Every structure is written in structure tokens, then in C-alpha cells.
Chain A
Amino acid sequence: MSLLEVQNLEVSFVTRNGTNKAVDGISFSVDTGKITAIIGESGSGKSVACYSLLGLVPRPPGRIDGGRALFEGRDLLQLEERQLREIRGRDIAMIFQDPMTCLNPYMTIGKQLMEPLRYHRKVSREAARARALELLEEVGIRDPASTIDNFPHQFSGGMRQRVMIAMALINEPKLLIADEPTTALDVTIQAQILKLIAELQHKRDIGVIFISHDLAVVADIADTIVVMKQGKVVETGDRAAIFQHARDPYTKKLLAAIPTDSKPPQALQPEPLITVRNLCTWFDQGRGSEPVKAVNDVSFDIHRGEVLGLVGESGSGKSTIGRSILRLVPVTSGNVNFDGTDLTALQGRELKQMRRRMQMIFQDPFASLNPRMTVYDTLAEPLLLHRIENRKTVGQAVLKLMDDVGLARAFVRKYPHEFSGGQRQRIAIGRALATRPEFVVADEPVSALDVTIQAQILDLMQALGREYGLTMLFVSHDLAVVRHLADRIMVLYHGEVVEQGSGEELFTHPQQAYTRQLLQSIPGRSLLA
């Protein structure tokens, strides 16, 4: 018998605007010693389903409409809050997505760790502390004895997630629910945390539900995979079955969205469009403290028509390089030469003229559009500003842009909040291309989007890049995406270039230790050909 058997679970949210079925009759099971992954895009109901098992969905507006969830022979959905509380944190524990917000900032981690033990098992303070120290050691916190009385803000994101894991495991639960536990982390840290979860699960022989939006993340660790879409399970199978013989079209679409190929090499034009020499961008930290050297002595060329991929983890300075070239942040020293003009020396009118030739696509489609301007206003602004169109012709040009980026013309009077993330990113791309620029910086343009949408936007960018003859600096933390899109890749670490080369070279013969570490951290590496 399975450890947890969920049958026909139905959950809905009752709001003023009607009832919304979040989970629509799903069934799955989790076995002791196995990892069941639940995969789905945002809004698929994967998290709601798991939260509802433990009574963690606020009611109202949440409502459980039906189904059973048998855990060790008891139906969780029928239990009283008191009985559920005894199970929560003792028999079933959870890890959440964002370790920055999931730990109480006002309590030391030691206190938080000991809490489940003290509450459920009535262990003495000394014994609980000893156990907490053991677990911190086990999850890889260095020197637990001196850090146990620290507050969460004194730990990095990866370390906090380790603390969360220790807290979840302290009562030796039988089932662990991990809700996107690595999504907020850098790739190398993600790889470490995934490894840790798999190890601990194996050692303790517990069941795990691993919730994720990313099939690649669970490719190495899941035993069973449940694919959800719009509140329903579309396909269930073991890992091999899903990855090799997926039957459902949606699963196939998810699989196809994982970029696995490398862009075929093309001959570069000899003359670079952009040359960057000894670029330094430092940020002052106020009197007395060292400036943050976000970009430190970086030199490289981008050739006309080339897509240069810029890879690095958070804080590596990859976004700052793009912004420095575009003069969106003040450059400390160095030169940026754009088609014979030194950009760092430009001022006023001359700079405005150059801005027409270089544009940027931003990461967050929710923040990159002015919420008070319609699509028409947003797209017309650059056209009118640079006198590319006049008041009479601008309407037609806007509609043409909408066609180009794949937005229905009927939406031209709508506001950003009426669109989905993918559609918004299309608007943002349209705005960047409106002036027909030669050079575009794309700063993580797809990392805020669902995987299937990601693939669509990447395709669009590739097609438009060809059509407009764009030179592009593509900034991303995702090596697989960059390899798929870029002609050359540059690896950045702590503001300095570690290694550069074609995607093929980098993947097959990485020269630097850091590059190798990055490559090994790519989730679902086995999928990459």
C-alpha cells in the first residue's frame, strides 16, 4: 500500500467573481522511499493540491469539494484541525520555495529548528538543541555550534534552504512535501540542494512529493512524475516513461520546451559592431566601505549579426554589463565603442540619437511596461520620439509591430494588466524593436515565464533577430537556453570574465573549474545531447 493515496481530490476557491476550480479531481500516490514529482505551470493547481492535504489552504476562500487522501489508512481530508496539526510537522513536513521569506526573521534559526521537536515530542530544551545541531551538521551547515543562534538574515539563500530542510526533517517525518524548493536559487546551489534532498530521502527512506514547474529539475531525482494542467492530471508515469514515451500532447510540449540543442556555428563578420575595453562599473557603498565591483575590467567584442550569450549566477554582474553598454548605469572607467562611436563619452542629443540604435528587453514583463499606458501608447512612444513616424502614420506602424510580435490587433487599446506574462513580453519586444535598432540587450527575457511560453518567446526572438538583422547580447543564468540561442558564450563570475567560446567548445571542453561546475549544475543534464 502506498504511503499517501490521493483520489479524485477537488479544491475550489470561492470569490466574489464566482467559483474557480483550482484542483479538478486529481489522483496520485506516493510510496515510501520514492520521490513523486508533480509538474505543472503556474496556475495548474499543483501547490494548492498539496497544501489542501494539510489544511494549509485558507478556508474561505478555499474549499475542498471532494476526494480522499489516505495517509497511513486515515483520510486527511476528514480530519479535524487538531488531528491534522498532530500530523503536520511530525509525520508530514514541508519545504517551501523562497527560503528568504519562509524563515521567521525575528527568531534565531535554533529556536525555529527546535520548535517542531519541542511541540510534537515534548523534548527537553537541551535534547532538542543537541538534535538541532546534529541535523544542521547533516544538511551541511558549517560550524553549527556557533551559527545555531544566528538570525536568518545572516545566512545566504542556499544555507537558509538547508536550514528549512533540517527543520522539516527534525521530527523524522514519513512524508516530505517540497514546493519548488530550488526555484529561487542559483543553478550551482540548486544542484547542491537537489543532491541533498535525494541523499536524505534515500538515507531515511521517506516518501517525497516534489512540486516543480520545470521537468528538467526533476529529471535526475524523480521516481514517478505527475503532469498537471489546469487542475487536472494529464499524465502519470515513471521517469523513463515520461521522458522517453510521453503520450499526452501537453507533456510532449513541456519536454520540447527544454532546449537541448546547440546553435549551429556561423561565420562571423570580421568587424565587430561593439568593442568593450577594460569596462569597470563600481557601485559606491557610501563613505568608508569598499565599492561593489559589479563589473571589473571586462573586455570583449560583439560582431554584427552575432548573438553573444552572457552567463553567470546572481551577483556576477551580467545584467550590469548590458546596462553599462546602454548607458543605463554610470560607467566607472573603460570604453564602449559602438560602430566607431565611444558611447561612454556621449551626452544629451548625441546620446539620444544613439539610443535609437540600441535597445533593451527586460526580465520582468510585469515591471517593464508602464501600467497606465495602453499597448498603443507604449509602442507609439519610441516611434514618435525619434520621428520615425508622424501622428498620421504611427497607428499603422504600431499595428505592424503588433503583427510582428504576434499580438492580435484588437488588443491595441488594452492595458498591460489585461495581458498574460508572455503577451506582455511580446509588447516589450515590440517596444524594443520599434526604432529598428541594430543592437539589443536581452536581460533574462524568459526567466520569469512559464516553460512553454519561454519556448515561444525564444522562437519569436530568434525569428525577429533574423528578420531585423539584430546583434544581440543575451544575458541569462540558464546555460541550456544560452547554448540554444547564442553564437558565442561568455561566462562571468564575480564581475570578471572567466571563459568565452562557442557553445560547442564550452560544453565539450570547458577550460575553467567554474565553467565545469556550472555545466555540472545544469538540471537534467542527461537530457542535453
Chain B
Amino acid sequence: MWRFIGIRLLQAIPVILVVITVTFFLVRMAPGGPFDSEKPVTREVKAALEAQYKLDLPLYQQYFSYLGDLAHGDLGPSFKYSGRSVNELIAAGFPVTAELGLYALLVALGIGCLAGIAAALRPNTPQDYIPMSAAMIGICMPSFLLGPLLVLVFGIYLDWLPVSGWGDIPGDKILPSLTLGSAYAAYIARLSRAGMLEVLNQDYIRTARAKGLPQWQVVLKHSLRGGMIPVVAFLGPAFAGLLAGSFVVETIFQIPGLGRFYVQAAFNRDYTMILGTTVFLSVLIVLFNLLSDILAAWMNPRLRAQYGK
């Protein structure tokens, strides 16, 4: 197992390097500089600014100097918010995004797994059709559509829940978490249904029934572990998706999280902020992918043994 983790960690390094490199050069390819906007500045001021942010150096030197800073964990200053470093901005936004993501993940896993397992236990009955139709709606109802609709219904017409903010009014965390989590609840419901159905059709389930075990034991002891492996393996991609989804949800609900910063940085061509946030989020996603892979491998005794030696 440790060897497996070691190998995967080593494999993550080139991935992260590729991310940094591609991001760095892509951002530099983008048309329009950060100081082109709003009020025109004099040539001297612009040159001074560019010197300050090392934009006057040849590209490859900028790249290596950025890598050097990165090695110390320094993501550089923000172009837009002068005087603030990218590190500070991330530190301010990320806890909010992380909390939102965590709640959404709980929503997704809780609803998704329950619905999927229930559907798999009685396939082709209402117990299957109803949650699976709901899942289909969840998949076809993207967060940027579901969010406004939820606001419209629960925030405006019914006036039950606050429609924006984060941690200001009690209950204002409910709608964003639901909005972000629901699409993933739908995916997880379908995945866990497929996984459980596959396992329930295996010969060893018949063996368990032939032993005389009651249904709940067959499900809990013999099916759940195998059936949930696809869900666990999906957690990595789901996490990446949740982060991206948080861009939208934070915009809709005006939540001061990292996602909103990122979108604003993209608008403002705040190079260092885009670069820093991308690198930060990418590393996070790569690590989370790794975690979910390790967890999925650990759940399978055959894989566990293979890498155990």
C-alpha cells in the first residue's frame, strides 16, 4: 500500500509541473495586459509597474523566477489589488469555499448513496424509477439554472430562506449547499445504483443468500463494499467539479469564496491571481484524486495485496 501511495505521489509531481507550466504560458499568451484597462497610464509608469512585477524580463526568466518563488510557497503579489499578495487572497477565500464544498459533498453523498442503493434493491419498480428520474432531473438541471430557481421559489415566493450571503443570517448556507451538491447527488445516485446492481448480480451474492442470510445482511455485509467502490473512485473528479461549481454558486449567492475571486481575476486579467489560484486549486485536485484512488484501491483486497509487498 505504501508503495502504491509512493508511486502515485511521484506521478503527481509531473502533473503539477505540467499544470504550472501550461498555466504560466497560457496566461502570458492572453491578449491584453493587466495595466491596459480603465485609466491609461503613462509609458513611464507602465514601465515601472512592469519592472516591479518582473514583466520586463525575458519570458523564460520570468518562468524560472516564478518557479523559484513557488518553491518557497510564494505565489507573488496580486496585479489588481495592489499591496495584497495572492497568498493572502487565497487564505481569505479558501476557507469559505472549503466549507461550502464540504456541505455540498455531504449533500451529494448522503442523498446520492441512499437513492442509488434504494433503487438498486428493487430495480424496475417505483422505488427505482422515482429516485432515478429525480437523478436525471438533477443532471439536466445545472447549478446555474437550479440556483436561481431555488432562490426564486424558496427565497422570493415562499420567503423561507435567505437568498445570498454566507454565515450572515442563519440558514443562508442551505441553498448554496443544496445547489452545489444536487448535481453530484444525481451522479452519485446513478453510480451507486449501477455499482450495487453489478454486485447484486454476482455469484457470491447468491452464495450469501444460499447461506440463509437475511436481505439486510446480504446488502450490508456482502454488497456495499464492492458496490461503493465506483462512488469512492468518483470522489476525486467530484471534488474537482465541486470546486468549479463553486465559481457559479458563489457568484449566484454572492459568497466571498475563492471561486468568486477566481472568476473576477479572470475578468480583470489579474495574471498572478489567475496563475496562483490555478496552481493552488490544481494541486488540491491532484491530491484529492490521489486520495480517492488510494481509498478505492484500499477497499479492494486484491489491489491492496498487489501493492502491499
Contacts and interface: CB of A to CB of B under 8 A. Distances in A.
> Do the two chains touch directly in the complex (Cβ atoms below 8 Å apart)?
yes
Interface of A: 54, 56, 84-90, 93-94, 96, 98, 101-107, 115-116, 119-120, 151, 153-154, 164, 167
7 contacts: A88-B209, A89-B212, A101-B203, A116-B211, A116-B212, A119-B213, A151-B305
Nearest to B224: A106
B206 A153 contact: no
B213 A102 contact: no
B301 interface: yes
A54 B211 CA distance: 10
Contact of A153 (B203, B217, B221, B305): B305
Nearest to A120: B212
Given A119-B217, A151-B302, A153-B301, A104 B211 contact: no
B212 A101 contact: no
Bin the interface of chain B by size: 20 to 34
Interface string B203-221: 1101111111110010001
A103 B207 contact: yes
Contacts of A93: 210-211
B225 interface: yes
- Name the residue among A54, A88, A115, A153 with the largest chain B CB count within 10 angstroms: A115
Given A103-B204, A106-B300, A94 B210 contact: yes
A106 B299 contact: yes
A89 B211 contact: yes
Contact of B226 (A103, A106, A164): A106
B206 A115 contact: no
Nearest to B204: A104
B133 interface: no
| Shortest beta-carbon contacts, A-B, top 9 | A89-B212, A88-B212, A89-B211, A101-B203, A151-B301, A94-B210, A104-B204, A85-B212, A106-B225
A106 B229 CA distance: 11
A88 B299 contact: no
A102 B204 contact: yes
A131 to B, nearest CB: 15
Given A107-B222, A151-B301, A154-B305, A102 B207 contact: yes
Given A56-B206, A98-B203, A106 B213 contact: no
A102 B209 CA distance: 11
Nearest to A99: B203
Contacts, number: 75
B31 to A, nearest CB: 47
Contact of A54 (B204, B210, B222): B210
B155 to A, nearest CB: 45
Contacts of B300: 105-106
B212 to A, nearest CB: 4
B212 A119 contact: yes
Contact of A105 (B206, B209, B217, B301): B301
Contacts of A119: 211-213, 217
A409 to B, nearest CB: 40
A87 B213 CA distance: 11
B210 A89 contact: yes
- Name the residue among A86, A98, A153 with the largest chain B CB count within 10 angstroms: A153
B202 interface: yes
A119 B210 CA distance: 12
A167 B212 CA distance: 12
B305 A105 contact: no
A346 B108 CA distance: 60
A190 B305 CA distance: 29
B227 to A, nearest CB: 10
Contact of A104 (B208, B209, B214): B208
A56 B210 contact: yes
Contacts of A104: 204, 207-208, 222
Contacts of B221: 107, 115
A301 to B, nearest CB: 43
A120 B210 CA distance: 12
A127 B14 CA distance: 53
Interface in B58-116: none
A101 B202 contact: yes
A98 B299 CA distance: 23
Contacts of B203: 96, 98, 101-102
A211 to B, nearest CB: 14
Given A102-B203, A106-B225, A153 B211 contact: no
B136 to A, nearest CB: 23
Contacts of A56: 206, 209-210
A164 B300 CA distance: 21
B20 to A, nearest CB: 30
Given A151-B302, A153-B305, A102 B206 contact: yes
- Name the residue among A56, A86, A89, A103 with the largest chain B CB count within 10 angstroms: A89
A103 to B, nearest CB: 6
Given A85-B213, A102-B206, 18 more contacts: A85-B214, A87-B212, A88-B209, A88-B210, A89-B213, A96-B206, A101-B202, A101-B204, A104-B204, A105-B204, A105-B301, A106-B300, A119-B211, A119-B212, A151-B305, A153-B301, A154-B305, A164-B207
- Name the residue among B209, B212, B222, B301 with the largest chain A CB count within 10 angstroms: B212
B211 A115 contact: yes
A151 B225 CA distance: 14
Nearest to A164: B207
Contacts of B204: 101-105
B126 to A, nearest CB: 15
A151 B304 CA distance: 11
Given A119-B217, A151-B302, A88 B211 contact: yes
A175 to B, nearest CB: 12
A98 B203 CA distance: 8
Contacts of B222: 104, 106-107
Contacts of A154: 305
Contacts of B206: 56, 96, 102
Given A96-B206, A96-B207, A86 B212 contact: yes
Contacts of B210: 54, 56, 88-89, 93-94, 96
A164 B210 CA distance: 12
A89 to B, nearest CB: 4
B223 to A, nearest CB: 9
Nearest to B208: A104
A251 to B, nearest CB: 30
Contacts of B299: 106
A484 B209 CA distance: 43
Nearest to B302: A153
A230 to B, nearest CB: 24
